[in-house]
Amino acid sequence: MFRSNTPITDWSDRHVWIIGASEGIGLALAQALKLQKAQLTVSARNEKRLQQEFSDKARILPMDVSSNEDVSKVMDFLVQQETVPDTVFWLPAVYHPGGILSLDPEATQQRLHTNLLSAFNLFPRIVRYWSSNPLIKKQYHWSWFSSLAAYRGLPNASDYGASRAAISHLAQSSHLELKRHNIDISLISPGFVNTRLTEKNEFKMPLLMSPKRAAQLTLKGLKSGNFETHFPKRMSLLFKFLNILPIDLYLKLMRVLK
């Protein structure tokens, strides 16, 4: 109906940078994009894992996104080589299950550094570069991975949920600001995906899907040109409904269900 972004139907002319490509959804996305002939650059902290998966398939740039030094080094390298990718997927996140009362303040701040603050380091550098080096035939594209946990407060989501809500907010505000610079911004909001991140959960996760399926749905979403790609639909539509309830009704309902 209303398309916010230019649909991405052909990946063969894109240079895609997947940040968080050593595991989970990012790894599956890189594998799917390789099959679609995208040129790939991959990053994460674990260089050994990246070498195992991508030694002859992608350019490997190990980086801890929470390290200013790493981010500056990688960015300088890309600019000097004139090989700044035109499309970025941002996935880094760490998760620790548990409630507010059991939070360790120092560990929590470290997680928030990765999950939120680091986004404000690389992202502005990339989009500044993009806005001063416009493309002729296509749009630049930055895709933020957030979560259905971003929509409304959930019990035991504490710092992780708050970081996802902030990323979803940043996705919207950056979309509004950067559209006129020919930069598309999209938001991916998955439900439960079977990865290292969710294996810490002790509860049964409804509609748990494979990383491969999550990657397929992500690419399908980008093909549609919609700002947000959310899945699985049975869960995301329920979350969207909960999101429009008056807040006191929502809180009461959640207290009863808990």
CB of 188 to ligand NAP, least distance (A): 7
Say whether residue 195 binds ligand NAP (CB under 6 A): yes
Q: How far is the CB of 1 from ligand NAP (least distance, A)?
A: 25
- Binding positions for ligand NAP, 124-153, rule CB under 6 A: 145, 147
Q: How many helices (H) and strands (E) does the chain have?
A: 9, 7
- Nearest residue to 107 (alpha-carbon basis) of 164, 167, 158, 65: 158
- The side-by-side arrangement of strands in the sheet containing 39-43 is 59-60, 39-43, 15-19, 87-90, 140-145, 183-190, 228-231
> Reduced to 3 states, what is the DSSP secondary structure of residue 185?
strand
Question: In whole angstroms, how close is the CB of 54 to ligand NAP at the nearest point?
Answer: 12
Give least dist CB 46 to ligand NAP, A.
3
23 binds ligand NAP (CB under 6 A): yes
How far apart, in whole angstroms, are the C-alpha atoms of residue 81 and residue 254? 52
Instruction: Please identify which residue in 71, 170, 183, 197 interacts with ligand NAP, judged by CB under 6 A.
Output: 197
169 binds ligand NAP (CB under 6 A): no
Q: What span, in angstroms and rounded, lies between the C-alpha atoms of 22 and 20?
A: 6
Q: Indicate the residue among 5 and 229 with the shorter CB distance to ligand NAP.
A: 229
**Of 13 and 104, which CB lies nearer to ligand NAP in the complex structure?**
104
Can residue 44 be called a binding residue for ligand NAP (CB under 6 A)? yes
* Binding letters toward ligand NAP, positions 199-228, x by CB under 6 A: ------------------------------
Candidate list 15, 34, 94, 97; residue touching ligand NAP; CB under 6 A: 94
CB of 189 to ligand NAP, least distance (A): 7
**DSSP-assigned letter for residue 209:** B
Question: Exposed (0-12), middle (13-18) or buried (19+): which is 113, by Cβ within 10 Å?
Answer: middle
CB of 135 to ligand NAP, least distance (A): 26
Separation of CA 229 from chain center? 11
Question: Should residue 231 be labelled a site residue for ligand NAP when binding is judged by CB under 6 A?
Answer: no
Query: Is the distance from CB of 28 to CB of 46 less than 8 angstroms?
Result: no
- Distances, alpha carbon 19 to alpha carbons 64, 142, 233, in Å: 10, 11, 26
Residues of this chain that bind ligand NAP (CB under 6 A) = 20-26, 44-46, 49, 63-66, 91-94, 114, 145, 147, 164, 190, 192-193, 195-198
